[in-house]
Amino acid sequence: MEACKRHVKDLREWVGELLACSEGESARECAAHHIESALDNLLAREEERESLLKELTLVLSCTAGDRLLQLALDAVIRLSRAERGYLLLERNGREQEIAAARNMQRGTVDDPAGKISRRIVSAVLDSRRSVRLDDALNNESFSGVESVKRLKLLSILCVPILAGDDAIGAIYLENRKLTGVFTAEAERAALDYARRIGTAIRNAQRMQEMHDSRIAAQEKLPAEFDFDGVIGESPAFREVLRTVSVAARSEIPVLIEGESGTGKDLMARAIHRASPRRGAPFVGVNCAALPGALLESELFGHTRGAFTGAVSERRGLFASADKGTLFLDEIGEMPLELQAKLLRVLQSGEYRPVGSDRLLKADVRIVAATQRCLAQEAAAGRFRKDLFFRLNGILVRLPPLRERKEDIPLLVDRFVRKHRPPESALRIGNDALACLIAYDFPGNVRELETTIHRAVLFSSGDSIGIGSLPENIARAGGGVLKLPFRIPKTGTELLRAKTAAGKEAVAEVERAFVERALKQADGSPSEAARQVGMNRSQFARMMSKYGFSASKKISRVER
C-alpha cells in the first residue's frame, strides 16, 4: 500500500509539471515511463485504481500521444478483465481509426482493423450508449452480423468516448474465451472512464492544435522577414527580428546597438535587403578605422589638391550610396566636429566635398551601429544630442550571445555546414555542443564562428569532439557535461531538461531553474511562477525543496 501511494505521489508531481508544459516527444515518453511504473506497482484495490485513473486522465489532458493512449487502454483492460481492447478515435474529421490495440499481456495487437466488429462500434457511436454482450454469437441483435460470426465473438463491451455531446471515439473490449465476463459494474466503470478520457483527449487535441499553430507561426517568421544569414529562435532575438521587419519597410534611420561580434553589420545588410531600396547600393564604412580628416573625405569625397596626397578628384560614400543605404559602423567613434557636418547632411540632404564650394545632393537612408550606448554618450557630452536624436529613429539592440544561448545549436549547425569540406557529413558532438553552450563567448557570434572553423580543421571522423575545441571552451563545459545544455527558463524547458539529464543531475537542474526564475522576478515567488508558466504551489514546493525563500537574496545566476 505504501509503495503504491509513493508511486502515485511521484506520478502526481510529474503530472503537475506536464500540465504546465505539455509539449514534445520527451514529455510524452517521460510521462509514459512514470505511468507504466505506477501500473506495475499498483495494488488491486479500488482506491488505488481510482487514483491511477485520475492521474492518467490528467496526463491525457496534456498530450494524447500514442504511448499514453496505449497505457490508458492497458488500465481499462486490467480493470475489466478483458482479453483484448481497442481504443478508436476520430482523426482529422475522418472515420474512427484505431489509436491503440492491446492485449491483457500489455502487448500490441497485430492487424487490429480485422479483429473488431465495426457494426457494434457504429451502433455505439450512433446511439451514444454502450453495448454489453454476454454471448455475441447467440445475441438476437448481433448474432447474424458477419464480423461477429467470423471472429466468433463472445463477451463484448463497447462504450462511447464522449466530449460534451460529441462522440469522438469508443473503447472496445472483448473476451473470446468466456461468456459473461463483463459485469454491469464493469460497464459503469468503463463508461465513467471513457467520459473522463473523452474530455481529456479533446483538451489534448486543442492544446496540440494551439501548439502546432504556434510552431507554424514561429517557423514562418524567418521566411517572412527573408533576412539571409540572420537566424535565431530565442525570444530575445525574435523580438529583434520583429522590430527590424518594421524598420526595414520604412525610410526612417535605424540605430543598431550591440557588443562586438553580435552581427550589427549583418543586421544592417538584412535591413537593406528587406527595404524598398534593395535594388540600390549598400555602402558601409567603419568610423573607428579612419582619423577624422580621412573619414570626412571618405564620406563626402574631395577635389583634386584638397589636401596633400589628393592627386585626383574622388566621389564620397554619400554619392556612391545615392538612392541606397549608407551604413555607418561604430558611429560613436566619430569626432564631434565631423558629427556636425553629418547632421547637416541628414537634415538637408546636401553636402560639400572636401576642398569644394559646390553643394551636392544625395538621397541616402542611414543605418548606424555602435558598441556604445549613444543615449549615455550624448548625456555625457561625448556625442551630439541633436545627431543622436536624428539617428535614433528606430533603436535595435542586439542581445549578446550569452543572453540567447538557445540559438547556439542553430548557429553551430550553420557554421559547421559552412566550413566543413564539400560532401562531408561532419557534425557537432553532444559533449562539444554542451561546452559551447556553457561558454559565454565574449566575442559573441564572431568568436563562435571562428571557434567552429578551427574545430572543423582539427576534427577527424564524422563528429567534432571536445578535443577539437580551444582549451578554455572545453574547460568551461567540464562541469556541465552531465547536465542539459543550459539552465531551463520555463516549465516546458525544465521538463525536457529533467528528461534529458541523468538522475544525478536533476537536483542541480531544478535548483538552477528556481534560482534563475527568482532572480528574474526580483525574488517574488508568485511572479517567478507566472513567468515560467507554473502554478504557485508547485513552484513554492520546489523553492522549499532547495532552501529558497521569498526573502532570500539571489546574488547571481550561473551560465
Inter-residue contact 172 to 132 (CB < 8 Å): no
**pLDDT score, position 506:** 64
CB 14 within 8 A of CB 30: yes
Q: Give the residue range(s) of CATH 3.40.50.300 domains in the chain.
A: 235-399
Give the CA dihedral 238, 61, 541, 5, nearest 10 degrees. -150
Question: What average pLDDT does the segment 252-275 reach?
Answer: 93
Look up the CATH number of domain 402-476.
1.10.8.60
Where in the chain is CATH 3.30.450.40?
A: 79-200
CATH 1.10.8.60 in the chain is located at 402-476
**Residue 146: what pLDDT?**
84
Please write the tens of the pLDDT for every residue from 3-48.
445 545 555 554 454 444 444 455 555 555 555 555 554 434 445 5
The predicted structure's pLDDT at residue 225 = 38
This model's pTM is above 0.95: no
- Which CATH code for domain 491-545? 1.10.10
Q: How confident is the model at residue 528 (pLDDT cuts 50, 70, 90)?
A: confident
How many other β-carbons are positioned within 10 Å of the β-carbon of residue 292?
15
Is the per-residue pLDDT at 254 higher than 70?
Answer: yes
Judged against a pLDDT cut of 90, whether residue 321 lies above it is answered with yes
Q: For residue 482, count other CB atoms closer than 10 A to its CB.
A: 13
CB 204 within 8 A of CB 61: yes
Residues 6 or more apart in contact with residue 494 via CB below 8 angstroms: 17, 21, 488, 509, 510, 513, 532
For domain 235-399, the question of CATH label 3.40.47.10 is answered with no
The tens digit of pLDDT for each residue in 489-513 reads 666 666 666 555 555 456 666 777 8
Asked whether the predicted pLDDT for residue 296 surpasses 60, the reply is yes
Chain region(s) in the chain for CATH 1.10.10: 491-545
SS3 533: coil
Q: Which of 90-99, 202-211, 374-383 has the lowest mean pLDDT?
A: 202-211
**In the numeric block, which cell numbers belong to residue 488?**
531551463
Q: What is the pLDDT of residue 23?
A: 46
Residues 79-200: name the CATH superfamily.
GAF domain (3.30.450.40)
